[in-house]
Amino acid sequence: EVVLTQSPGTLSLSPGERATLSCRASPSISSSSLAWYQQKPAQPPRLLIYDTSNRATGIPDRFSGSGSGTDFTLTISSLEPEDFAVYYCQQYGGSPRSFGQGTKLEIK
């Protein structure tokens, strides 16, 4: 079973700053088997990134994903007010599939 651990639990930043969210897999997974989702209050999750680094349809290019093996990163280059939300990683390199516990990105 693959366990995903996201860090930090909460990230406090200001609009315009760069956000770096981490997702660690144990054991390691295929480098192309990770997705990221954004969830705002009272809304379903929205797919941001799939196959580690591919942006989903309609996702702004300020969102980028990278990583391989055990360490994966979601980067938001310059935070917009609408980016403050909870972010989840999800792996599909192992069975059963699993989500990380989430990182809350809040306004500082």
Partner 1 sequence: QVQLVESGGGLVKPGGSLRLSCAASGFTFRDYYMIWIRQAPGRGLEWLSYISSGGSGMFYTDSVRGRFIISRDNVNKSLYLQMNSLRAEDTAVYYCARVEGRFSPKYMDVWGKGTTVTVSS
List of residues contacting partner 1 (CB under 8 A): 33, 35, 37, 39, 43-47, 50, 56, 88, 90, 92, 96-102
Q: Pick the closer one to partner 1 by CB: 17 or 51.
A: 51
* Of residues 16 and 58, the one with the C-beta less far from partner 1: 58
Residue 38 CB, nearest approach to partner 1 (Å): 11
14 vs 35 by CB, closer to partner 1:
35
Distance, CA of 54 to CA of 59 (rounded, Å): 10
